[in-house]
A and B are shown apart, each in its own frame.
Chain A
């Protein structure tokens, strides 16, 4: 049984709404209290002390993909949209293990036609002991094609990206998790 989300809310719809209702926040601080009038004229206007040591910059937090629809097409579209929004790529696609592209955005026909042969080649790689072929990357001229795989009782699925740079290990993990979330229960 597919567990439905709590909010029944489509993540893409929320993203679209948020883009329409949020303002760009100014990086320049303006003191709320020091802007006060005569009543506070005597208050010390000293600037906040400088931190002794800047905290290390945390890696950008990527939200987990939440699937709110039971419709397979909607789930795949949401996965592609999430990938484009949160990973360093210009295109993304989902294919089954026969190489049939199920959803795609921002990738060329050439890339689409490459998916089938690529996955076929990986079948042979999987049989080699000690090799994890559930994720990989390939330089194609000036672009990098990366992919992760997930296996279900209905077969395998592949989520791929095309971009100008290699994905980090963390990004691969995030893609694997998002793909797993999407195909679970399909």
Chain B
């Protein structure tokens, strides 16, 4: 097993954190992992993204040209990664904010109204977790339970009150795709 996953959105949409959470979950169940952010001279409102690699073996390159899976949270990310996604790859789309079409027949596309679901469950800032839940249903790279456990284990003490709401939102996103 060797998989590359990109999470991409506006700064503030939680793309980097969602990727980190997945990385923690995979590490905790014994996988090899790397997490690498794009760290260019980004401005407020610019695109923030990270690449996560999860593997059974030692990881060589931490970056890829054509990722296996992409979670896109906004239109600029969609524009970039609908082209770069590998043939046969999985594209998880935040349809609340993205109106661009995927324009490809050789990939699997899952549209999830992330902002709407997160807002409906109490906080739009949990959009990233809706999409992460959906990705895990479309592409079970790690079990949902491992990501839930990673939330419990790795959120700092002052954020512990956010664990339960985030788990609920993760599960909701998961069901959204499981029932697709």
Real binding pair: no
